[in-house]
Structure 1
Amino acid sequence: MNIAFYGSSLLSSYWNGAATYYRGLLRALAARGYEITFFEPDVYDRQQNRDIDPPDWCEVVVYDGTLAGLAMVAVRAAHFDVVIKASGVGFEDDALMERVFAAARPSALKIYWDVDAPATLAQLRSGPDHPLRRALRTLDLVLTYGGGEPVVKAYRALGASACVPIYNALDATTHHRVAEDPFFAAELAFLGNRLPDRERRVEEFFLRPAGLLPQAAFLIGGAGWSEKPMPDNVRNIGHVSTRDHNAFNSTPKAVLNISRDSMAETGFSPATRVFEAAGAGACIITDAWEGLDLFLRENCEVLVARDGKDVADVLSGLSDERAREIGEAARERVLREHTYELRAAEVDKLLRAQLQRRSIEAAE
């Protein structure tokens, strides 16, 4: 079975947090026998900031970020058994969606894969004429990055015939424990790009505890923070390539996860970096959100903070030994229950069920 996947970027994580999610899932699907072609636009300097070369398990087609470039790759959807359009591609998303699904042959499965469902759903509710809202009834399936039952119910209410969350996970071949690197040494480290719906929470959960613990070393990585005022004990290292994520996660005493506003409000939306950090044996401190216990157990496999003072209190009472114990427990949990091999098995089952449904309907 071959898959056309239209997404933001497989090759670059620059201003593209979904990169490792795509890599983990698609690599695992390729291992199950799927032939995958990933189409990504040349925008936002991503191609100048690649983390990986084109892999041998997936063909990658980079197209010009122009309407002509979009049109050239959209028509290629006609040659695939499964056609997937992801959210947040970054160039003319609505036009790409309409052209891709229009080009898909009638027998192909048509899937919308939403990597930011809370934000997408907010747009759909406020825009009754939104192109995706019109398209939902014609699609076979909506898959989401997370969101649990609230997102499933919302998509079904808007007309989707089926919606299934495929959560982030760990690719143990890529993210694992490595030797500590002094460059990433810190009491607490946070990695995330500066985004409008994350900044307020970064101020509360990262910068506020840094101010409360002036003697502790804090480390922040990610694009966009260079102009942000920060306490003197915060070191800003800018964009961190995925090739350095293991060292970033393996070195500090603790690693902080901060959800974006919409993800925290919806719940059931673990960030990719939660599993990457757990795979490296990091002691994770996370902001609180509903559904966390489906993935990691509080006070055993993860530490939870309700505000910035909580982060400071947790960090002040955290010994090196306790941090190692929590990190190892998290690593064992994700290796057992939250790998991309397991997620790919879910997707494989879904695709085969949809094709079987098609065959039954065609025979009636």
Structure 2
Amino acid sequence: MSGEIVIFGLSLSSSWGNGHATTFRALLRGLHAEGRRVLFLERRQPWYQENQDLADPDFCELRFYDEIPEALARYRDRLEDAEAVIVGSYVPEGQRLIDALDRLPLRQLCFYDIDTPVTMDLLDKGDETHLARRQMPRFDAYFSFSGGKVLDRLREVYGTPNPQPLYCAVDEGAYQPMEVPSRWDLGYLGTYSPDRQPGLEALLIEPARRLPQMRFVVAGSMFPGDIEWPENVERIEHLPPAQHAEFYNAQRFTLNITRAAMRRLGWSPSVRLFEAAACGTPIISDRWQGLDELLPEDRAVLIADGPDQVVEALTALPETRRQALAAEARRIVLSGHTGRARARELATQLALGAQSAPAAISAG
């Protein structure tokens, strides 16, 4: 019988200002459906504690801790008995946590990077708050939400012995086509990021200026107050995951914009792609290497290099083409990018690691 999996993650309880919660929820629901037990340990932080939208999940055991020594003391037996202990990216004091875990006789110590290109940028700048470069060779597996040449770089530049792709996924039970009124011609869902803002300006705000008769929407927190939104762009400060499916279904098209580091390295699909596709909403995306391998251009996704292509899609694309794009993207995502599919991938890799790893890991 497979053992428990213990995960230290940024947040499962709150999706405010982070995409980690959505990714973890889909993965852990998939693991639960596969009969796996998960203990998720989340550090108490005021921002997330005050904005919880899933305080008591029914698909895993969620526990909170205040300090690293407290968590390790309280859960030491379960950590050492677990099939694997996984640390997620951006966990508070991640470097300290990883060092402390590495001193325990764990069966497998793994890392799940939901921000791999950003992590690489931080490491290259000497920022090791969440993960130290010296720690990367210590992991039995380094799971990355980016694939392709990112995995080669993890191995060759950072010395990670076993990098494995573990892309984001969608909970297919929560994201489905719905019969709701159409409210917007184009929408975007995402927390503000300075390196995504130029893409939002070019691919949504400028098209909104050119098409005043159409309706646009941007949902997400932390946007500065000095952005000049056109009158036909509706703003939603925060949209909890429970409302995501209806939000996508109310759009004729949804927009995907990728952070600069992820666009530069490629093979970094956002969870927005999977969610929108599962809802049957056609996607317009910025361009990055690897996207066409996931969703073929002009068959399952429209790729826009500037506002002209967005305006053309909104004004000239035949309805039959729009529906065909959505159908193909949905078929691809449901065939291999669900939380349950991702859970099987993780379970397979952990089983392989258990076969090849020594009985216990100890710090050298």
TM over 0.5: yes
Question: Would you say 1:124 and 2:126 are equivalent positions?
Answer: no
Alignment-derived partner of residue 261 in structure 2: 262
Where in structure 2 are the equivalents of 1:1-364 lying within 5 Å? Answer: 1-43=3-45, 45-64=47-66, 69-75=67-73, 76=75, 77-89=79-91, 91-102=92-103, 104-106=104-106, 108-127=107-126, 132-146=132-146, 148-157=147-156, 158-181=158-181, 185-225=183-223, 227=225, 228-358=227-357
CA shift, 1:248, in A, is 0.5
Code of the aligned partner of 2:100: R
CA shift, 1:92, in A, is 2.2
Unpaired segments ≥5 residues, structure 1 = none
- State which drifts further: 91-100 or 238-247: 91-100
Code of the aligned partner of 1:159: G
Report the Cα distance in structure 2 between the residues aligned to 1:277 and 1:293, rounded to whole angstroms: 16
Unpaired segments ≥5 residues, structure 2 = none
Structure 1 residues 101 and 285: alpha-carbon distance in aligned structure 2, compared to 1, 3 A threshold: same
Code of the aligned partner of 1:240: L
Q: Secondary structure at the match of 1:196?
A: coil
Code of the aligned partner of 2:11: S
Report the Cα distance in structure 2 between the residues aligned to 1:14 and 1:109, rounded to whole angstroms: 31
Q: Secondary structure at the match of 2:204?
A: helix
CA shift, 1:38, in A, is 0.5
Structure 1-normalised TM-score?
Answer: 0.90
CA shift, 1:327, in A, is 1.4
Q: Are the equivalent residues in 1 in contact too, given 2:150–2:267 (CA < 8 A)?
A: no
- Percent of residue pairs identical: 32
Structure 1 residues 205 and 247: alpha-carbon distance in aligned structure 2, compared to 1, 3 A threshold: same
Q: Are the equivalent residues in 2 in contact too, given 1:152–1:165 (CA < 8 A)?
A: yes
User: Size of the alignment, in residue pairs?
Assistant: 352
Q: Deviations over 1:66-120 (max 9, x none)?
A: xxx232113433453311111112x223222322333x324x1010111111111
Q: Secondary structure at the match of 1:45?
A: helix
Q: Secondary structure at the match of 1:253?
A: strand
Report the Cα distance in structure 2 between the residues aligned to 1:128 and 1:229, rounded to whole angstroms: 33
Q: Deviations over 1:266-309 (max 9, x none)?
A: 11111001100111100111111111122212112111111222
CA shift, 1:129, in A, is 7.5
Q: Which has the higher contact order (CA 8 A, sep 6+)?
A: 2
Structure 2-normalised TM-score?
Answer: 0.90
Report the Cα distance in structure 2 between the residues aligned to 1:44 and 1:205, rounded to whole angstroms: 34
Report the Cα distance in structure 1 between the residues aligned to 2:186 and 2:167, rounded to whole angstroms: 26
